Amino acid sequence: MRSALLYLYLCFFSLPSMAFGVLGHQLVAHIAEQQLSPSAKQQIGILLDQQNLVDVATWADQIRKDSAWQYTAPWHYINLAKGQNLSFAKRNPQGDVLSQLNYFEGQLANHSLNKQTRSQALKFYIHLLADLHQPLHVAYAEDRGGNLRQVTWYGKPSNLHRIWDSQLLDSAAKPLPSYALQLMRDYPLNQQQLGHDYQQWFLQTRQLVPMVYDYSSEHLGEAYAQSKRPLIEQQLALAGYRLASKLNQILD
Tabulate helix, strand, coil % of the chain (nearest 5). 65, 5, 30
Q: Is the alpha carbon torsion for 39, 238, 26, 197 positive or negative?
A: positive
Examine residue 90 and state whether it is found in any structural domain, yes or no. yes
In a domain, 3, yes or no: no
**Beta-carbon contacts of residue 185 (< 8 Å; ≥ 6 apart):** none
Return the number of other C-beta atoms located less than 10 Å from residue 150's C-beta: 15
Average pLDDT for the chain: 91
Q: Can you give the residue range of the structural domain that contains 100?
A: 20-251
Percent of the chain beyond pLDDT 70? 92
Q: What is the mean pLDDT of residues 203-207?
A: 96
Q: Which long-range contacts (CB under 8 A, 24 or more apart) does 245-249 make?
A: 245/35, 245/194, 245/196, 246/105, 246/125, 246/129, 246/196, 247/32, 247/36, 247/40, 247/44, 248/35, 248/36, 248/37, 248/39, 248/40, 249/196
Instruction: Please name the amino acid found at residue 28.
Output: V
Residue-wise pLDDT tens digits, 29-41: 999 999 999 999 9
In a domain, 10, yes or no: no
Is 224 a domain residue? yes
Q: Give the pLDDT score at 172.
A: 83
Per-residue pLDDT tens over the stretch 113-163: 999 999 999 999 999 999 999 999 999 999 999 999 999 999 999 999 999
What pLDDT is stored for residue 205 in this prediction? 97
Question: Is 2 part of any domain?
Answer: no
- How many distinct structural domains can be found in the chain? 1
Q: Tens of pLDDT along 36-87? A: 999 999 999 999 999 999 999 999 999 999 999 999 999 999 999 998 888 8
- At 85, is the secondary structure helix, strand, or coil? coil
- pLDDT tier, 19 (very low <50, low <70, confident <90, very high otherwise): low
- Which CATH number belongs to the domain containing residue 242 in this structure? 1.10.575.10
Q: Give the sign of the dihedral formed by CA 155, CA 158, CA 164, CA 169.
A: negative
Q: Integer distance in angstroms from the first to the last C-alpha of the chain?
A: 60
**Residue 147 falls inside a structural domain:** yes
Type of residue at 25? H
Is residue 5 a part of any domain in this protein?
no
Q: For residue 232, give Cα distances in angstroms to 80, 88, 176, 226.
A: 20, 28, 15, 11
What integer pLDDT is reported at residue 10 of this predicted model? 36
pLDDT digits (tens, 9 = 90+) for 160-203: 999 999 999 988 878 999 999 999 999 999 988 898 799 999 99
Kindly report the pTM of this predicted structure. 0.91
Assigned domain for 183 exists: yes
